[in-house]
A and B are shown apart, each in its own frame.
Chain A
Amino acid sequence: MEKFTNFSAVVAPMDRPNVDTDAIIPKQYLKSIKRSGFGPNLFDDWRYLDPGAPGIDNSQRRVDPDFVLNQAPYDQAQILLARENFGCGSSREHAVWALADFGFKVVIAPSFADIFFNNSFKSGLLPIVLDSAEVDQLFSEVYADPGYQLGIDLEQQLVITAAGNQLGFEIDEFRKYCLLHGLDDIGLTLQHAEDIRAFEQQYYQQSPWLK
C-alpha cells in the first residue's frame, strides 16, 4: 500500500444520505476476480445513461451530464464530500476499490457504515467523520465555488479549508500509523504468531468441541 501523504485537492459533493454500496459499485462488476479496474464503473447507474455490464466498453456509453463526477473539475476530484451513513449495505470491498481507483483518497461525511469504514483503510482511502454542521458548511462552500479545494493533513488530523480554517478529526492510532507508513496489517499480525498459538493452545483445551 502507498504511504498516505498530505495533499490538497478538489472536493466533489455527493449530496444525499445513505449512499449504499450497490450505488457505489453495482453488483454486476463484483463478478471480477481482480482487485483493480473498478474506477470506470464507480457510481455506474448514476454516471451513465446506458446500462453497463462487465466487458462493455464504457467509452461507448452515454454519460449523464448532470451527474457530478461527469463534470469538470469534479472528474478530477480526490475528496468526496458526502452525507450521513455513507457506504451502507454490503461488505463488498469493491466499493472502496472503485472509489480509490477513480482517484479518491478521502471521503468526508457525518457518519459512515461500519464495514465500509473499516474496509477503506485497507486500500489507503481515508474516511473522515466531521460533525453535521461542519459538513453542511463545507457543502455550502463547495456549491459557492466549483473549484473548491481542501487540504488534508493526516499527521495533524486536520482538514484545512482554503480560508485557512482547520477542522480536526479523530482516527485510531493504529490505523493512522498503518496509513502513514503504508503498512499491510497481515504482516503486522503475523509478528504476533506466537501469541496466537499460545491462545489456541489454551482455547482448545477449554473448548475441545471446537477442535
Chain B
Amino acid sequence: MQVKQASINGDNMAGLTLYDKVWQQHVVREESDGTALLYIDRHLVHEVTSPQAFEGLQLNQRPLWRKQSILAVPDHNVPTTDRSQGISDPVSRLQVETLDENCDSFGLTEFKMHDRRQGIVHVIGPEQGATLPGMTVVCGDSHTSTHGAFAALAFGIGTSEVEHVMATQCLIQNKSKNMRVTVQGSVGKGVTAKDIVLAIIGEIGTAGGTGYAIEFAGEAIRNLSMEGRMTVCNMTIEAGARAGMIACDQTTIDYIEGRPYAPAAEYWQQAVDYWQTLHSDDDAVFDREVVIDAAAIEPQVTWGTSPEMVIPVNARVPDPAGESDQVKASGMQKALQYMGLEANTAINQIPVDRVFIGSCTNSRIEDLRAAADIARGRQVADNVKQALVVPGSGLVKAQAEQEGLDQVFLQAGFEWREPGCSMCLAMNADRLEAGERCASTSNRNFEGRQGQGGRTHLVSPAMAAAAAVFGHFTDIRQLD
C-alpha cells in the first residue's frame, strides 16, 4: 500500500526520478494490473542466449520487428589466444557459427570474431555509441545493467524475452521501485569505481536491490569517468537490481560525441538538449535511499562465494561464529569451506595462483592503464602460475598497444590476449583448475564460476595487478 502511494505521488505531485522518466517515454500501452508493454531501442545479442530465440522465430515464421535495433557479437566462447585456426572446441564453435548464420540469414549487424571491433558485448555497445542516454537497452545477459551509466534503462533478459523483443520490439514489464544510492564526498587515493560498487554491495547485500531500479548519485559517482560509471552500473545486478542508472551530464555527452553510432550532426543538438533532461527531479521521491561515505571506502576484496562477502584489503576473513542469523552463518561456513579459508585470516596474507584482468566490469582502457601502472617495472611473483590480461574489445586492445601497455604487461610476465569474456566465466579454454585461487577483476565469485572448484576473489584492476606481482593481496595505497 505504501509503495502504491509513493508511485501515485511520483506521477502527480512529486518530481520524477530518472528511471520514471525513461520508463514513461517507452510505455506503448499499460494494462489494468500495471503491466506495461515497454518499447525497446537497442537490443544487443551474443551467441549464448540467442540461438533458441532465433530458432523460435523461425519455427513460428515470425519476422524481426526492427533489424537496425540489433547489434550482435560473439564474446563468451571465443578463444583469447591466436584465432587464425578458428575455435578448437567443437561445441563452442557450433554456438559461434550459429550466431554468424543467424545474423547473416536475418540480415543483422554482427561484429564477427575476426572483426577488430569484436569484444565483450557490454564493452562494444558504449564504445560504438550504440548505447545512448534515454534509451531502453536489453541483452540476454544480466550485466546489461552496465549501459545504465549513460542514463539509459538497461537490463538483462532471458532467451524467451530475447525472442519477444526480436518479434515485437517490446517487452512485457512491471515497473520497479526506485532506490537511490548516494556516495557522498570523494574517495581516497587508490580507491576505484570497483571498490565503490563492491562496498555498496557489501552494504545492501546481494538481494538488497531486488525489485528496484537503482540510481547511483553523489559527488563520488559524478567524479567518475564514463568507464568508472560503467563499472559501477555493471555490478548493479550483483546487488539484486536489474537496472542501475546514472544521470546524464557533460561527461556522458563528451564520451558519446564522435562515436560511430552517435546521432548524426543535424540531430546532435536536439539529442543533447533532450539528454540534459535525463536526471531525477530535485523533488523526486525514492522508495529507498542509501547513503554511503566515500571517504570510508577502502580497496575491497571478496572472501566468499557471493559478491556481498566482501571486506577491505586490510581486514580479516569473518568468523561465522559471530553471526547470529543461522541461515547466514551456515552460508558463511559453506563459503569458507569452498574457498579453502580459515576464519580470521588476514586477507593480505592470502596467496593467489592466478590473476585475471578483464571482463565487462574491468577491461576498458582505463582499467588496463591502472593495472599497467602497478605492473610497470615489476615481475609477476613466482607463486603465480598465470596472470592474464584480456582487453574488452579489439579497439581497446589496439589503443593499449598504441600506448605500449602490452609491452609493460609482457615484460612483467603477464599474458596479453585477444578480447572476450575469457576467464570471467570460463566458457572458453581460460579457466581455473579445482582448488586454484584467483584475483579477478570480474563480477562473480560464485562456486565454479571461473572453472570447477576454482576460487575467485573479486578486486579492482590495480589490486589484481598488485596481487600478481606480490603473489598475495596487497594494499595498493602502500605502493608508490
A88 B452 Cβ-Cβ under 8 A: no
**Chain B residue with minimal CB distance to A112?**
B210
**Chain A residue with minimal CB distance to B308?**
A18
Whether B48 sits at the interface, judged by CB under 8 Å, is yes
Bitwise, A172-200 to B at CB < 8 A (1) or not (0) is 11100000000001100110110110011
Per the 8 Å Cβ criterion, residues 14-29 of A in contact with B are 16-18, 20, 22-23, 26-28
- A91 in contact with B140 given A27-B427, A113-B240, A196-B28 (CB within 8 Å): yes
A20 to B446, CA, bound (A): 7
Whether B378 sits at the interface, judged by CB under 8 Å, is no
- A33 in contact with B52 given A18-B206, A173-B33, A195-B37 (CB within 8 Å): yes
A119 to B48, CA, bound (A): 16
B48 A186 Cβ-Cβ under 8 A: no
Nearest CB of A to B212, in Å: 9
Nearest CB of A to B62, in Å: 7
Whether A30 sits at the interface, judged by CB under 8 Å, is yes
Which residues of chain A have C-beta atoms less than 8 A from B479's C-beta? none
- A185 in contact with B164 given A18-B331, A27-B426, A45-B448 (CB within 8 Å): yes
Bitwise, A74-98 to B at CB < 8 A (1) or not (0) is 0000000001110011111110100
A33 B94 Cβ-Cβ under 8 A: yes
B39 A17 Cβ-Cβ under 8 A: no
Per the 8 Å Cβ criterion, residues 20-61 of B in contact with A are 25, 28-29, 31, 33, 35, 37, 39, 41, 48-49, 51-52, 55-56, 60
A174 B168 Cβ-Cβ under 8 A: no
Per the 8 Å Cβ criterion, residues 86-101 of B in contact with A are 91-92, 94-95, 98
Which residues of chain A have C-beta atoms less than 8 A from B163's C-beta? 186
Option from B29, B159, B330, B444 in Cβ contact (under 8 Å) with A16: B330
B49 A93 Cβ-Cβ under 8 A: yes
Whether B142 sits at the interface, judged by CB under 8 Å, is yes
A92 B426 Cβ-Cβ under 8 A: no
Which residues of chain B have C-beta atoms less than 8 A from A115's C-beta? 142, 155-158, 237, 242
Whether B203 sits at the interface, judged by CB under 8 Å, is no
Bitwise, B163-178 to A at CB < 8 A (1) or not (0) is 1100111101010100
**Chain A residue with minimal CB distance to B27?**
A199
B240 A189 Cβ-Cβ under 8 A: no
Which residues of chain B have C-beta atoms less than 8 A from A195's C-beta? 28-29, 37
A47 to B55, CA, bound (A): 30
Whether A208 sits at the interface, judged by CB under 8 Å, is yes
Which residues of chain B have C-beta atoms less than 8 A from A96's C-beta? 158
B328 A90 Cβ-Cβ under 8 A: no
Option from B39, B135, B242, B447 in Cβ contact (under 8 Å) with A199: B39
Per the 8 Å Cβ criterion, residues 109-133 of A in contact with B are 111-115, 118-119, 122-123
Nearest CB of A to B91, in Å: 4
Which residues of chain B have C-beta atoms less than 8 A from A33's C-beta? 51-52, 55, 94-95, 98
A16 B331 Cβ-Cβ under 8 A: yes
Which residues of chain B have C-beta atoms less than 8 A from A122's C-beta? 158, 160-161
**Chain A residue with minimal CB distance to B270?**
A209
Nearest CB of B to A178, in Å: 9
Interface size in chain B (residues, C-beta < 8 A): 78
Which residues of chain B have C-beta atoms less than 8 A from A196's C-beta? 28, 37, 39, 65, 168-170
Bitwise, B445-468 to A at CB < 8 A (1) or not (0) is 011110010000000000000000
Which residues of chain B have C-beta atoms less than 8 A from A91's C-beta? 49, 140-142, 144, 156-158
Which residues of chain B have C-beta atoms less than 8 A from A89's C-beta? 142, 444, 446
A31 B330 Cβ-Cβ under 8 A: no
Interface size in chain A (residues, C-beta < 8 A): 57
Whether A55 sits at the interface, judged by CB under 8 Å, is yes
A23 to B448, CA, bound (A): 8
Option from A16, A45, A111 in Cβ contact (under 8 Å) with B210: A111
Which residues of chain B have C-beta atoms less than 8 A from A123's C-beta? 160
A30 B210 Cβ-Cβ under 8 A: no
Which residues of chain A have C-beta atoms less than 8 A from B427's C-beta? 27-28, 30-31
A89 to B240, CA, bound (A): 8
A32 to B77, CA, bound (A): 12
Which residues of chain B have C-beta atoms less than 8 A from A88's C-beta? 206-207, 240
B452 A51 Cβ-Cβ under 8 A: yes
B158 A189 Cβ-Cβ under 8 A: no
Nearest CB of A to B379, in Å: 32
Option from A93, A111, A172, A173 in Cβ contact (under 8 Å) with B207: A111
Which residues of chain B have C-beta atoms less than 8 A from A174's C-beta? 31, 33, 35, 172
B157 A113 Cβ-Cβ under 8 A: no
Which residues of chain B have C-beta atoms less than 8 A from A118's C-beta? 157-158, 161
A192 to B210, CA, bound (A): 30
Whether A210 sits at the interface, judged by CB under 8 Å, is yes
Per the 8 Å Cβ criterion, residues 35-81 of A in contact with B are 35, 45, 51, 54-55
B211 A114 Cβ-Cβ under 8 A: yes
**Chain B residue with minimal CB distance to A90?**
B142
- A114 in contact with B28 given A22-B444, A33-B51 (CB within 8 Å): no
Which residues of chain A have C-beta atoms less than 8 A from B350's C-beta? none
Which residues of chain A have C-beta atoms less than 8 A from B144's C-beta? 91
Which residues of chain A have C-beta atoms less than 8 A from B241's C-beta? 114
Which residues of chain A have C-beta atoms less than 8 A from B231's C-beta? none
Nearest CB of B to A14, in Å: 12
A18 B306 Cβ-Cβ under 8 A: yes
Whether A203 sits at the interface, judged by CB under 8 Å, is yes
3 closest residue pairs by CB, A with B:
A209-B263, A93-B158, A122-B160
Instruction: Provide 22 A-B residue pairs closer than 8 Å at the C-beta atoms, listed in order of the A residue.
Output: A16-B331, A22-B448, A31-B48, A33-B55, A33-B95, A34-B52, A83-B327, A85-B207, A88-B206, A91-B49, A91-B140, A91-B156, A111-B207, A113-B210, A114-B176, A122-B161, A190-B167, A196-B39, A196-B65, A203-B25, A207-B134, A209-B271
Interface on A for B, CB 8 Å cutoff? 16-18, 20, 22-23, 26-28, 30-35, 45, 51, 54-55, 83-85, 88-94, 96, 111-115, 118-119, 122-123, 172-174, 185-186, 189-190, 192-193, 195-196, 199-200, 203, 207-210
Q: A30-B76, A31-B77 are in contact. List 16 more A-B contacts (CB 8 A).
A: A23-B446, A27-B425, A27-B426, A45-B448, A89-B444, A114-B210, A114-B211, A174-B172, A186-B164, A189-B172, A190-B168, A192-B28, A196-B39, A207-B274, A209-B132, A210-B41
